[in-house]
Amino acid sequence: MEKFEIIFIDSNEFDFKDIVSKDTPNFTETNDLLKMKANYVDFDKSLNLIKDICHVKEVTKDTFMEEIVKYIDLDEEHYGDVRDCYECKDFTYQIMYKLTNQDDNMDKLKYNLLASYLTFNKELIYGNAVLFKTYISIEKPDEDKVINTTLNNVLELSMNNLYHTGVYIDSNNNFEQIYFDNEFNIIDPTNKWRRYHKIPNIIKDSEYGFRENEYLRFNLKFIFNTKSEASINEPLSRLLHGLIKGDGVIISPFDANGNSFYEITQEDIFDLLKVWNNLDNKLSDFNKIDNKEKTKYQILNQRIKNI
């Protein structure tokens, strides 16, 4: 039977600020946006920081849940739950942990700060937790399966909380993949995350407003200048179903208040533009596949196939 690796994360009070950076990049070019976020992480030194709390566990499909139940110590009074950490077209990362109940003495429970930090919502997790990665097929959902998770992935996911992606569209309708930080500065992943000056820093520009829409479960925030007299921005105009001029940026917030963001790529925007006049939710979008909710990528793929 096929084996794969998951990550056991012991309770801890890890501070992600302790992750060690270096001056030279790990990659000159990669299409993996999550990996790029760890471009200046010193993996050797940083892995040494987490080796005592993160452990690789080899399991099979049959032993996967059994090992997790034992490790996070589930019993008749405590249920397990899953939180999302990362989602892209091909895979997801999730954390499984034990829920507390009203009889627990919260003052005596140990924190799991690293696991909490890896999740989108950042709510505090107690006790041991498990990180796992799932391959998601947009064409053949029955081929979905849990695949190897590495210690490097833990560090990549940590950096995902510092650096985020968006899509810039200029007034000539040219697209560029961008990264931005928690201060909403557009930054360069190949130049030690310094300010990227080839694109105006419009996410922070007070002249620019925004509009938020959810399309096919994509949470999108469109940033543009409503007073611009530049050329018509056709992609933004189509997606917002109105006349938009000048340049703009599209990002994908997890919620309105935090610093968690979904990945959003040029390819995602190209695909959404293919169905720009058919973005309303349909009942079929909520039909489950083998008792699993469809991902936004599966919904979008089905909409494109129905053109």
Going residue by residue through the chain, which has 307 residues, state the pLDDT in tens, using 9 for 90 and above: 799 999 999 999 999 889 999 999 998 888 899 999 999 999 999 999 999 999 999 999 999 999 999 999 998 888 899 999 999 999 999 999 999 888 878 889 999 999 999 999 999 999 999 999 999 988 877 788 999 999 999 999 999 999 999 999 999 999 999 999 999 999 999 999 999 999 999 999 999 999 999 999 999 999 999 999 999 999 999 999 999 999 999 999 998 667 899 999 999 999 999 999 999 888 777 777 766 788 999 999 999 998 8
Q: What is the tally of structural domains in the chain?
A: 2
Find the Cα–Cα–Cα–Cα dihedral 271, 272, 275, 279, rounded to 10°: 150
**Which range marks the domain in which residue 287 is found?**
163-305
Same domain membership, residue 285 and residue 153: no
Do 161 and 16 form a contact (C-beta atoms < 8 A)? yes
Same domain membership, residue 134 and residue 13: yes
Same domain membership, residue 132 and residue 43: yes
Same domain membership, residue 19 and residue 95: yes
Among residues 124, 139, 159, the one where a domain terminates is 159
Same domain membership, residue 250 and residue 185: yes
Same domain membership, residue 209 and residue 119: no
Same domain membership, residue 41 and residue 140: yes
Q: Look up residue 286 and give its DSSP letter.
A: G
Same domain membership, residue 178 and residue 268: yes
Same domain membership, residue 19 and residue 135: yes
Same domain membership, residue 98 and residue 65: yes
Half-sphere exposure of residue 148: CA atoms within 13 angstroms, side-chain side = 5
Question: CA torsion sign, 70 to 72 to 77 to 78?
Answer: negative
Considering the entire predicted model, what is its pTM?
Answer: 0.94
CA distances from 81 to 68, 126, 199, 244 (A): 11, 12, 41, 43
